[in-house]
Structure 1
Amino acid sequence: MGGFTLDDVLAKRKRRDSWWTVFLVDPLACRLTLWVANHTSLTPNALSMISLAIGLGSATAFAAGVLPLGAVLFYLSFMVDCMDGKLARLKGNGDPFGLWLDYVGDRLRVLWCALGLGFGEYARTGDVAYAFTALGVIVLDFFRYMNAPQLKRVKEAIRTVTVRRMETECVFVEDVLQTRPRSEVKNLEVEEGKALVDLQKAFHRRFPWYDRFRVFLVRRRVRTHVWSGIEFHAAVFVIAPLFGARALIPVAIFAGALLLAFEMSLVYRVWLATRQIPKSAPERERILV
């Protein structure tokens, strides 16, 4: 059907992704995406539906107490979920509805698997801690997806107010750092009439080691938010079940604590950025988010 090569698929990966995806999912997902693109007529939305169906199978296995099978199915569900975006970018056959389907599918998979895992173990053992663990996983996943768009809105508001107060076009150091180390910023040539604005200056002053760490990860296509929802889900629904029911609660607590810590680090960075906004505006100006 198609003449795509593996290099074509690799070129359509996200520029940066979670380390779990980069190292433990993409090597297989890219090759399967190539086969799907060249030998089937499956659409990205169809892959999303397949991912959701496998996720339901994972939840069913968890509820039945077959934890290793549930872990394998969750991994496969996530892998197929990673394939739909690659296929859409490769063949150009994605559509806006796919964004909704992908988002809702992710949330349903986590909800079903958390309920199947937690309440399945509660039904078998009578230990209510499993049920509370399931609810905790659901709440943390909801918080993560609520926090991300809100922080994005705040960042956009910070940039808007900064440009207005500078009264000129701005080049943000944060954008420059997407492709180069911070050490090169001092030598950056900015077009005449534009201002170079560093909203992350306070953060980097407090954590000077961060830029070396960021560059190390970026060179390996790994994003700096090293414990995101993806790693959280992998720990709870893949790693813990492979070690048995006794591992579920301690792994969920540990993974949840890491998730909260990294989410709070994002909030902290944004808070520091708000303090870098130029103060030249009238006192009556406020940031609306």
Structure 2
Amino acid sequence: MRAYSLNDVHATRKRRDSWWTVFLVDPVACRLTLFVANRTSVTPNGLTRLSLALGMGSAACFALGQLVAGAALFYVSFMVDCMDGKIARLKGTGTAFGLWLDYVGDRIRVVCCAGGLAFGQYTATGDLAYILLGAGVAVLDLFRYVNAPQMKRVREVVRENRAERQAERQAERQAGSHPVEPRPPRSARRPTLRRRADRFLARHRVRSHLISGIEFHAAVFVVAPLIGVVALLPVVAVAGGLLLLNEVFLIHRMWLFARAVPSAPRPESMQRVAV
């Protein structure tokens, strides 16, 4: 069996990830991945199942009103969930079924933990606000995961249309129909503050959108429960609002990206997107 190094494990990390994962999960997850890879024969799917089991334990703790225990188990569950992908990339043992299992397992964990949190606090207080809290968390999470692949498909269709139009223009230029227009010189101005910030984040492997599903889950199932019952409703409301704003921003960017390409007869791939 090959002996892997910590550098080998670091090479399996995503090029850019959430700040929560980069700073608060990966430093521990990478070392545990190294131990698992060198000392055990645990498979990525085995780690995914363990992550789901820990997530169910977290949901049970939340349902019983044990917020700190639930938060700790959720954190460990997410850390193990990060390890399965690293093991798959490190050993080349990833499978298509493993991708499905990881995706579905994440959704089950979030929905069950949201339900457990809502049930536990409603049982203790009788406040319907906690039922709305659980429903809101589940709906936001499901919307995000349903919306993301659809936006990706739209971008792919737009890129295909753009490539086709560029090919048509290139053919017209070669045929002499249209003279080649000189491109305007690139601006020599200094990078904007936004570009500087993005480059700084890229050096640290952090994604430019600082609130995503991972930070949302961390706020709802780790940070708020550790602070206490008093923090549940306000923290979830703020985190949910920020996540929704981020989704609206991403949809707006997708709209601008699609708008840049002139309208054309809808290809079959776009018809599938619209179904």
Q: Same fold (TM over 0.5)?
A: yes
Looking at structure 2, the residues matched to 256 and 209 of structure 1 have their Cα atoms a distance apart, in angstroms, of 27
Structure 2 counterpart of 1:248, from 213, 229, 232:
232
1:87 correspondence with 2:71? no
Matched, 1:137 2:114: no
Q: Is residue 227–residue 258 contact of structure 1 (8 Å, CA) maintained in 2?
A: yes
Letter matched to residue 29 of structure 2: A
| 2:5 aligned partner, one-letter code | T
How far residue 225 of structure 1 moved from its aligned partner, in angstroms, is: 2.1
Which amino acid letter does the alignment assign opposite residue 119 of structure 1? F
How do residues 110-125 of structure 1 correspond to structure 2 at under 5 angstroms?
A: 110-125=110-125
Gap runs ≥5 in structure 2: 171-191
Question: In structure 1, what residue type is equivalent to 2:265?
Answer: E
Deviation of the 1:2 alpha carbon:
3.7
SS in 2 for 1:167: helix
State the shift of 1:169 in Å.
10
Residue 213 of structure 1 deviates from its aligned partner by: 2.1
TM-score, normalised on structure 2?
0.87
Q: CA deviation at 1:216?
A: 1.4
Higher helix share: 2
Q: Tell me how far apart the structure 2 counterparts of residues 169 and 141 of structure 1 sit (CA, whole Å).
A: 42
Q: Is the radius of gyration larger for structure 1 or structure 2? A: 2
2:256 matches 1:276: no
Helix, strand or coil: the match of 1:78?
A: helix
CA distance in 2, matches of 1:246, 1:169: 62
1:149 aligned residue: 149
Does residue 1:258 correspond to 2:238, yes or no?
A: no
Residue 228 of structure 1 aligns with an amino acid whose one-letter code is: S
Q: Name the aligned partner's letter for residue 86 of structure 1.
A: K
- Name the aligned partner's letter for residue 112 of structure 2: W
Letter in 2 for 1:211: R
Distance, in Å, in 1 between the alignment partners of 2:6 and 2:169 is 41
Q: Aligned equivalents of 1:284 and 1:21: distance in 2?
A: 41
Matches within 5 A, 1:66-77: 66-77=66-77
Name the counterpart of 1:218: 202
Question: In 2, Cα distance between the equivalents of 1:138 and 1:210?
Answer: 32
Check whether the contact 1:2–1:37 (CA below 8 A) recurs between aligned residues: no
1: CA distance, partners of 2:222 / 2:158: 38
For residue 286 of structure 1, the aligned residue among 258, 266, 272 is: 266
Q: How far, CA to CA, are the matches of 2:258 and 2:92 in structure 1?
A: 38
Q: CA deviation at 1:109?
A: 0.6
Alpha-carbon offset, residue 64 of structure 1:
0.7
Alignment partner of 1:78 is 2:78:
yes
Aligned residues: 250
Distance 1:168 1:240 in 2: 55
- Identical amino acids, percent of aligned pairs: 60
Contact 1:2 1:39 in 2 (8 A): no
1:131-210 to structure 2, matched below 5 A, reads 131-167=131-167, 209-210=193-194
Stretches of 4+ aligned residues off by more than 4 angstroms: none
Deviations along 1:204-237, one digit per CA (max 9) or x if unpaired, are xxxx543222211111101112111000000000
Which whole-Å CA distance do the structure 1 matches of 2:169 and 2:15 have between them? 26
Which residue number in structure 2 is paired with residue 230 of structure 1?
Answer: 214
Over the residues paired in the alignment, what is the CA RMSD in angstroms?
A: 1.8
1: distance between equivalents of 2:84 and 2:117? 26
User: Counterpart of 2:14 in 1: which secondary structure?
Assistant: coil
Distance 1:98 1:226 in 2: 28
SS at match of 2:89: helix
Distance 1:67 1:99 in 2: 30
Question: What whole-Å deviation, never above 9, does each CA across 1:102-140 have from its counterpart, x for those lacking one?
Answer: 001100110110000011100111001001100000000
Distance in 1, Cα, partners of 2:266 & 2:93: 42
- How far apart in 1 are the matches of 2:260 and 2:135? 38
Task: Give the aligned residue type for 1:258.
Answer: L
Cα deviations across residues 33-92 of structure 1 (Å, max 9, x unaligned)? 000000001000000000000001100111111100100000000000000000000011
Q: Which residue of 2 aligns with 1:204?
A: none
Counterparts of 1:24-63 in structure 2, within 5 Å, are 24-63=24-63
